[in-house]
Amino acid sequence: MSALSLSVSAERVCRQLDELAAFSDAPAPAVTRVLFTPTDMQGRAFIKRLMEDAGLSFRVDAAGNLFGRWIGSEPNQPAVATGSHCDAIPHSGRYDGTVGVIGAIEAVVSLKAAGFQPRRSIDVIMFNAEEPTRYGIGCLGSRIMSGRLSPEAAGELRDQDGETFETTRKSSGCLGKLPSVRISPSKYSAFVELHIEQGPLLEKQNLPIGVVTAVAAPAAFRVTFHGEGGHAGAVLMHERKDALLPAAELTVAVERAAMELGGKDTVATVGILDVHPHAINSIPSRAEMTVDVRDIDLQRRDLVLEVIKRYAAEVAQNRGMKMNLEMINADPPAKCDVQVIAAIQAAAEEAKLPALPMISRAYHDSLFMALIAPTSMIFIPCRGGVSHRPDEYASPAAIRGGVEVLARTLARLSHS
C-alpha cells in the first residue's frame, strides 16, 4: 500500500462536536444526553446525517445501534469496524465517546478525499447507551451485540419510571427483534475505538497517542436498605431505624476496602445514594446506593467486591434492617489483540506521532467488541485527564492526531 497523504479537518470535527453538544438537557458547557430522550433522538438524527453525508450506507439495529458502512472492494470479506458512543452522563462533557464517532466519520471522509479504496468494508458504529444512566447497565448496545447480555434480559431492563427497554426502543422507532442485534464473530476482522484517555498519563508525558493493551474489569451492584421512616423531631434516637446510616457506613467501607485490599489499580465508587422520602424533616425509610468496583486484576477486583458485599449484609444485620443486593454487572477485563495493536502502532509511526502502550481504566464498548473481534483502542490526551465533567476538553491538535492515526489504522486493517 502506498503512503497516504491525509488531510484531517480538526476544525470540522470540533464544529460537529459543538453542534452535537447543543443537544443537551444540561446548560452548556455541561452535556446530558440520555438514551432515547428527545435530546438523544436529535443527537442520533445528527449522527445519521453525518454518516449519510460521508456517503456511508446507513442502518439502525433493533437495539438502536447506528451503523454507517463504506463498502469495500471485497464486500464478502469480514469487515473492519470502528466507533464509540454519543450518550452523555448527567452533567458531563462533550468529548467522551463522541470523538470516537464523529472522529471515525472524519477518518472515512479523509480517506475518501485521499483516494483510498478499502478492500474490506469499513463500518462506523454509534453504540447505544454506553453509559448506564437510563437502564443501570453500561455498554447496553455492545453487550447485546456481543451476546454478553441476552436479548430477553435486555428487553426486560427497566428505567427509573419502570419502562422496559423493549417498550422504549420500539416507541423510539427500533422495530426489529432484539435477537437480530447479535453479531457473529465472523462479521468483523477487527474493531478499533478512538477515545479520549480520561486519565492524565498522555498529557503528563506530552505524548499524543495511547495504544490500549487491556481494558480494566468493571463490576457494579445496587444495595437497598429498608429502615423505618418517621418524624425527624418526634422519634427519639434510640427508637430509630434510619436507613441512611448503614448506607453511610457502607460508603466509607467501600473506600477502605479498595485502599486496604486493592492495589494501585483498584478503584471503588458510590456514585448514587438516594434516600426516601427525601425530606428535611423525615427519617429515611429507604436508602438505595450503587457500588462500582474496577481493577485490571480480576481476582483482586472480586476479592474487594466480596468484602464490600459481606459488609453490606453485616451493617444491615447489626442495625436490624432488611437489605436487598442486586448485581448489575461483573465483567472480566479485555485483552487487546496484538495485530490490531501493531496496526495502530504502525499507523502512529506513519503519522509521526509517538504512541504509548497503556491500560484503559474506564470501560468502553471495546470491552464487549473484544469478545467477537480482535480489538484495540486509540487514546488521545484530554486536559488534566478530566472526564465525566463539564470542563472535559481535548484540543483540536489532539483530535486531529487521533483521527489521523485512526484513519491510517483503518486503511491498514481493511487491506490486511
Residues contributing to the site for ligand GLV (CB under 6 A): 131, 138, 362-363
- 333 contributes a contact to Mn ion by CB under 5 A: no
Distance in angstroms (rounded) separating the CA atoms of residues 244 and 361: 30
Q: How far is CA 66 from the centre of its chain?
A: 15
**302-332 as b/e, with b when 16 or more CB fall inside 10 Å?**
bbbbebbbebbeebbeebebebeeeebbebb
In a 3-state reduction of DSSP, which class is residue 112? helix
- End-to-end CA gap in the chain: 10
265: left (phi over 0), alpha (psi -120 to 50) or beta: alpha
Our CB check for ligand GLV shows the closer of 138 and 229 to be 138
Our CB check for ligand GLV shows the closer of 266 and 414 to be 266
Residues in contact with 233: Cβ distance below 8 Å, sequence separation at least 6, in sequence order: 281
Of 56-64, 74-82, 88-96, 104-112: span binding Mn ion (CB under 5 A):
88-96
With CB cut-offs between 5 and 8 Å by kind, which of ligand GLV, Mn ion, none does residue 363 bind?
A: ligand GLV
- 365 contributes a contact to Mn ion by CB under 5 A: no
Of 93-101, 153-161, 222-230, 303-311: span binding Mn ion (CB under 5 A):
93-101
Residue 320: all three cell numbers together: 436490624
Residues in contact with 66: Cβ distance below 8 Å, sequence separation at least 6, in sequence order: 44, 47, 48, 51, 58, 59, 60, 125, 126, 128
Q: Which of 61, 96, 249, 331 binds Mn ion (CB under 5 A)?
A: 96
Q: Least distance to ligand GLV from the beta carbon of 363, Å?
A: 4
Q: Does an H or E element contain 12, and which? A: helix 10-21
Q: Least distance to ligand GLV from the beta carbon of 142, Å?
A: 12
Residue 224: all three cell numbers together: 437497598
Partners of 122 in the β-ladder: 70, 80
- 292 contributes a contact to Mn ion by CB under 5 A: no
Our CB check for ligand GLV shows the closer of 89 and 308 to be 89
Our CB check for Mn ion shows the closer of 250 and 406 to be 406
Our CB check for ligand GLV shows the closer of 68 and 138 to be 138
Nearest one of 127, 40, 160, 125 to 89, comparing CA atoms: 40
Q: Least distance to ligand GLV from the beta carbon of 349, Å?
A: 29
Distance in angstroms (rounded) separating the CA atoms of residues 335 and 370: 8
- 97 contributes a contact to Mn ion by CB under 5 A: yes
Q: Least distance to Mn ion from the beta carbon of 138, Å?
A: 8
Our CB check for ligand GLV shows the closer of 54 and 380 to be 380
Our CB check for ligand GLV shows the closer of 131 and 197 to be 131
Q: Least distance to ligand GLV from the beta carbon of 138, Å?
A: 6
With CB cut-offs between 5 and 8 Å by kind, which of Mn ion, ligand GLV, none does residue 72 bind?
A: none
- 337 contributes a contact to Mn ion by CB under 5 A: no
| Number of other CB atoms surrounding residue 202 within 10 Å | 23
Find the Cα–Cα–Cα–Cα dihedral 345, 350, 352, 354, rounded to 10°.
Answer: 0
Contact status, residue 135 vs residue 90, Cβ threshold 8 Å: no
Our CB check for ligand GLV shows the closer of 221 and 363 to be 363
Q: Least distance to ligand GLV from the beta carbon of 59, Å?
A: 25
Q: Least distance to Mn ion from the beta carbon of 91, Å?
A: 12
Q: Least distance to ligand GLV from the beta carbon of 317, Å?
A: 31
* Residues binding Mn ion (CB under 5 A): 96-97
